[in-house]
Amino acid sequence: MPRPLHPAHHLALALLVQSVGQRLSVLAHETFITSAMAWSCHGRTNADMVDALQRHHIIKSEAVARAMKAVDRGDFAPRDAYMDAPQPIGFSVTISAPHMHAYALEILLPVLRPGARVLDVGSGSGYLCACFHKLVGNEGIVVGIDHVPALVQASIANMRKHHGGALDDGSIRLVCGDGRQGWPEQAPYDAIHVGAAAWPLPAPLLAQLRPGGWIVAPVGPDGGDQYLQLIKKAADGAITTKNMMGVRYVPLTDVQDQLGE
């Protein structure tokens, strides 16, 4: 008969199980969100998914709900589009879980005013760019940058399914380049979103942020502690940061590392 565990061993075993559970929650793009309500906002349709995000209080504003309902995730994710989990889109990339997009939109909402300029670094499928566009309108400019040329072309094809007019009038611009260098042609930006973990945050992104602008980015070393940070630039250029939640993202890297070349 096995001997009963000492109470200290019970505690150690519980901590081990907790740690393993957290590691198993790692999905391709981001994981271990501090909110227990995340990862469960599934739907049978795009509207169902957004309703679930509202019920779980991840989406708090009607503006973000309207934007996400106006952009069908099924246009940008080839399978399981309405599952609250990252989904592969090719080129060693995923489209982030819907709750992560919702968090980013809610955090940045105060600076996503009509006419604002937005930069999405690592724009991938183009989904979040379409959501940003619904908030800043045709008078704003949303730039999505990714360093895989074929992925940029795929994102343009996704966008043309229902949002081609924004490409035609230039209010959405999907470009190929090293997002760590930003996209100075349309700077300064009111809002910058980064879709992979930076360590540290690239200086060009801070330089291209308008005074009064905000950045949302996962920050931290690959395999180490990472946090989704809100970074603000004051009118005098002073930078402040706030950790919003713990996350696990793939690193912000170059195209060769991403594709394993």
pLDDT in tens, 122-154: 999 999 999 999 999 999 999 999 999 999 999
Q: Is the pLDDT of residue 9 over 90?
A: no
Q: What pLDDT was estimated at residue 37?
A: 58
| pLDDT higher than 80, residue 110 | yes
The answer to whether 40 is a known catalytic residue is: no
Q: Which residue is catalytic, options 19, 92, 96, 155? A: 96
Confirm if 104 and 58 have CB atoms less than 8 A apart: no
- Cα 130 versus chain centre, distance: 13
Position 23 scores a pLDDT of: 35
Quote the percentage of the chain above a pLDDT of 70. 85
Q: Which amino acid is at 109?
A: L
Q: What angle do CA 113, 101, 70 make, to 5 degrees?
A: 65
Mean pLDDT of all residues in 43-48: 97
Say if residue 26's pLDDT is above 80.
no
Q: Measure CA 196 to chain center.
A: 8
CA–CA dist 196, 200 (Å, integer):
12
Tokens of 45: 């349709």
Neighbours of 8 (CB within 10 A): 8
Please provide the average confidence, as pLDDT, over all residues in the chain.
Answer: 88
Question: By the 8 A CB rule, do 100 and 49 touch?
Answer: no
What's the confidence (pLDDT) of residue 94?
94
Cβ atoms of 126 and 156 closer than 8 Å: yes
